[in-house]
């Protein structure tokens, strides 16, 4: 016997009391049944302390084919509650269950690898023993200018048998800070979840706040401007990543050129928002700056030119056989693996899984205007690289359309007070993939729980598996092809 979860829409608030609270076992069964055969996938799984000895665990499922989400919860009582782990049946839950155990002490019995997610203690790494097996430990401080994380390889010669990734060094406690902060600080904090996804996380926060407010209309022009910023962010990051990949395979002309081209997009963001990454541009109710007619004309002209450059560059980069040899068949993630890990965003689309919030759960301007999506089927570094250039082209075309049909309108409309006892799920397709912010308000309309799931949280395991049986020397390349966020994972 199953109990239905509540059906909800992206960025539309609902009364928190409508979320069905099931007995733990029934909750687990419903979750598993919904996810059977890949019908639904876990978007978020998180707890909230209700009273000192009641912890409520929410499960948020996304049903991509039906364009809606399901939410259901279960209460766990006492000091050390336990339930039968979901992970053995549904691997995509593995990190969420570890997080629940770390933060709330809810024990998933028979979890295959129950160790801390972010705490720096009890680190035991998976070890392979035998003749000629050696271990390579890297980090947290790396050779390049990147964020900290620890990587432990089990190798036989050059071949990687297993890679375990231990993160948590970037733990800043963002979720707790969001509750304590006032609304101005909240916007800054949301943008600082991952500094490369400023617009993505900022927008997820804004959609949540607007949906929660009692009165909120976002003007059309503002929605377009937000989409423009979001797509500029996507293109700049995709192009930057291609540059990094080119650098890693030693193809320096392309690396230099990609690096410069990225700067062009960042400069456009800077002209529009005053900051190269668009900080403080989006705010609940609207955006901070408008686009001037001269800027508009110059953007359209420059984007046109950039589109030609992206095409030429792709030709240069993907036309070089030495590049293709390095990228092809390296770091493969098959479709089945990607599905079972619950991969999202670009990493999923490179493995033939069309998961994209802009299409599956559209919000803002994406409700009215579709963006053409692309996917690849090989799941290797080549697919992820190629997809970056293809998506950049689509985004540039979309950007031009949005710039050309900007409606005359206000750019901001203050929102009202927050609804009391409400909840909202706000999903945004950032350049890495699905960003989820789930917010619950209390009796006074204050924020009671703020949960953030960065796309990297879903995808880190895919990087581990992509390295299996690969060469350790390919790690930088495979890592760049995913380019996951440490800060977004650690929060």
In whole angstroms, the minimum distance from the beta carbon of 11 to another protein comes to 24
Pick one of 88, 112, 157, 173: the residue that binds another protein (CB under 8 A): 173
Is residue 260 a contact point for another protein (CB under 8 A)?
A: yes
In whole angstroms, the minimum distance from the beta carbon of 263 to another protein comes to 6
Is residue 148 a contact point for ligand SF4 (CB under 6 A)?
A: no
Sites for another protein among residues 420-449 (CB under 8 A): none
Is residue 320 a contact point for another protein (CB under 8 A)?
A: yes
In whole angstroms, the minimum distance from the beta carbon of 141 to ligand SF4 comes to 16
In whole angstroms, the minimum distance from the beta carbon of 48 to another protein comes to 19
Is residue 486 a contact point for another protein (CB under 8 A)?
A: yes
Q: What angle do CA 481, 486, 491 make, to 5 degrees?
A: 145
Is residue 195 a contact point for ligand SF4 (CB under 6 A)?
A: yes
Q: Using the minimum distance from each CB to another protein, give the nearer residue, 10 or 456.
A: 456
Is residue 194 a contact point for another protein (CB under 8 A)?
A: yes
Is residue 18 a contact point for another protein (CB under 8 A)?
A: no
Binding map of another protein across residues 295-314, x = CB under 8 A, - = no contact: -----------------xx-
Q: Using the minimum distance from each CB to another protein, give the nearer residue, 296 or 316.
A: 316
Is residue 146 a contact point for another protein (CB under 8 A)?
A: yes
Is residue 148 a contact point for another protein (CB under 8 A)?
A: yes
Is residue 192 a contact point for ligand SF4 (CB under 6 A)?
A: yes
Is residue 20 a contact point for another protein (CB under 8 A)?
A: no
Residue 253 interacting partner from another protein, ligand SF4, none (CB closer than 5 to 8 Å by kind): another protein
Q: Which stretch binds another protein (CB under 8 A): 57-65, 85-93, 139-147, 339-347?
A: 139-147
Residue 299 interacting partner from another protein, ligand SF4, none (CB closer than 5 to 8 Å by kind): none
Is residue 275 a contact point for ligand SF4 (CB under 6 A)?
A: no
In whole angstroms, the minimum distance from the beta carbon of 195 to ligand SF4 comes to 4
Give residue number: closest CB to ligand SF4: 192
Q: Using the minimum distance from each CB to ligand SF4, give the nearer residue, 176 or 354.
A: 176
Instruction: Report the Cα 4 to chain-centroid distance in Å.
Output: 27
Q: Which stretch binds another protein (CB under 8 A): 151-159, 164-172, 333-341, 373-381?
A: 164-172
Binding stretches for ligand SF4 (CB under 6 A): 192, 195
């Amino acid at each position: 016997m199953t109990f239905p979860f509540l059906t909800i829409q992206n960025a539309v608030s609902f009364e928190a009391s409508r979320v069905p609270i099931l007995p733990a076992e029934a909750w687990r069964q419903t979750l598993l049944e919904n996810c059977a055969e890949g019908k639904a996938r876990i978007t978020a799984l998180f707890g909230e302390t209700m009273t000192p000895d009641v912890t409520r665990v929410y499960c948020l499922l996304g049903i991509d084919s039906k364009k809606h989400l399901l939410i259901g919860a279960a209460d766990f009582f006492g000091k050390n509650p336990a339930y039968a782990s979901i992970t053995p049946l549904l691997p995509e839950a593995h990190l969420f269950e570890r997080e629940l155990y770390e933060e709330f002490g809810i024990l998933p019995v028979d979890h295959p690898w129950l160790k801390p997610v972010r705490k720096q203690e009890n680190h035991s790494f998976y070890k392979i023993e035998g003749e000629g097996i050696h271990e390579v430990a890297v980090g947290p401080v790396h050779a390049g200018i990147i964020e900290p994380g620890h990587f432990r390889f089990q190798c036989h010669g050059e071949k990687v048998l297993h890679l375990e990734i231990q993160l948590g060094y970037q733990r800043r406690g963002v979720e707790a800070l969001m509750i304590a902060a006032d609304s101005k600080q909240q916007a800054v904090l949301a943008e600082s979840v991952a500094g490369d996804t400023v617009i993505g996380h900022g927008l997820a926060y804004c959609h949540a706040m607007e949906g929660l407010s009692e009165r909120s209309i976002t003007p059309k022009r503002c929605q377009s401007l937000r989409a423009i910023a979001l797509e500029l962010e996507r293109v700049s990051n995709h192009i930057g990543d291609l540059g990094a990949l080119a650098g890693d395979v030693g193809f320096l002309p392309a690396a230099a050129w990609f690096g410069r081209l990225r700067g062009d997009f960042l400069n456009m963001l800077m002209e529009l928002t005053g900051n190269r990454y668009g900080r403080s541009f989006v705010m609940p109710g609207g955006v901070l700056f408008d686009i001037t007619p001269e800027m508009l004309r110059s953007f359209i002209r420059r984007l046109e030119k950039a589109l030609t450059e992206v095409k030429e560059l792709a030709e240069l980069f993907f036309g070089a056989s030495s590049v293709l040899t390095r990228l092809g068949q390296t770091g493969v993630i098959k479709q089945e693996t990607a599905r079972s890990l619950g991969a999202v965003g670009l990493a999923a689309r490179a493995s033939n899984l069309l998961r994209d919030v802009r299409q599956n759960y559209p919000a803002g301007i994406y409700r009215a205007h579709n963006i053409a999506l692309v996917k690849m089927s090989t799941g290797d570094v080549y697919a992820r690289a190629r997809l970056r250039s293809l998506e950049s082209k689509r985004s540039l075309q979309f950007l031009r359309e949005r710039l050309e049909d900007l409606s005359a309108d206000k750019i901001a409309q203050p929102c009202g007070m927050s609804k009391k006892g409400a909840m909202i799920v706000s999903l945004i397709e950032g350049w890495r993939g699905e960003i989820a912010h789930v917010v619950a308000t209390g009796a006074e309309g204050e924020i009671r729980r703020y949960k953030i799931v960065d796309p990297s949280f879903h995808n880190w395991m895919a990087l581990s598996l992509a390295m299996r049986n690969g060469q350790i020397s390919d790690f930088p390349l495979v890592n760049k092809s995913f380019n996951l966020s440490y800060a977004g994972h650690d929060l």
